[in-house]
Amino acid sequence: MEQNGTTSNKRKRVDYKPKKGKAKMIKGNCYNCGKPNHMAKDCRLPKKNQAHISEVRSVPINLGELNLSAVVFEANLVDNSREWWIDTGATRHIYSDKEMFSTYTPINGRKLFMGNSATSNIVGLGKVVLKMTSEKELTVIDVLHVLDIRKNLVSGSLLVKSEFRLVFESNKLLTKNSHFIGKGYVEKGLFKMNVMTVMRNFESNKITASTYLTEYF
């Protein structure tokens, strides 16, 4: 008796697995802990207080309602409370000395957000007059008064919006419409303005007439 065997066709079993992409290598070291292969925002160690530049968060500004929350870089290095520094990342102008305001409006319940997630109270808003090396006077408007800010900041982005040109070379700082406005210089890694704050009586809410050119920004 002949027995016909049954032939079974065996197929190879294939498991399809998604291809793993190559891990993206991050060049350089973390600004927070100094170790390689990750960024400061992903660092598991506690964030350090930086001297002047930190990550910036977006905060809405509503001048009509004086909702004056803003974002600035923390500035811990200070020699003189009346010195001014250009900060290209700050969203507002910041000043610490109430006596140097030309006009002033008190503010309650508003916060200034620092780059290191700290906050400070905003206690006022007004104008500050700066006398430049060119003998021109610049009136900085909508300046926030913050008591515990240790470095007075002029927002570079607001200057540019007001058609000023920032020239960081040959100690030339500000120009507008091809006219030289004032100088500055690099100190401790930041650009300091070579200016003098003009003290005027802010209680009158008026700026005394000046023989110098006055620009508003």
List pLDDT tens digits, range 114-161: 766 678 889 999 999 888 877 888 888 899 998 888 788 888 888 888
Q: Report the Cα 208 to chain-centroid distance in Å.
A: 31
Lowest mean pLDDT segment, chosen from 11-15, 133-137, 181-185: 11-15
pLDDT greater than 80 at residue 98: yes
What are the sequence ranges of the domains in the chain?
51-216
| Residue 3, pLDDT score | 47
Return d(Cα 117, Cα 72) in angstroms, integer: 10
pLDDT tens for each residue of 42-63:
777 765 443 233 333 333 333 3
Residues 6+ apart with CB under 8 A from 187: none
68 band by pLDDT with thresholds 50, 70 and 90: very low
For the entire predicted model, the pTM comes to 0.56
Taking residue 203's Cβ as centre, other Cβ atoms within 10 Å add up to 9
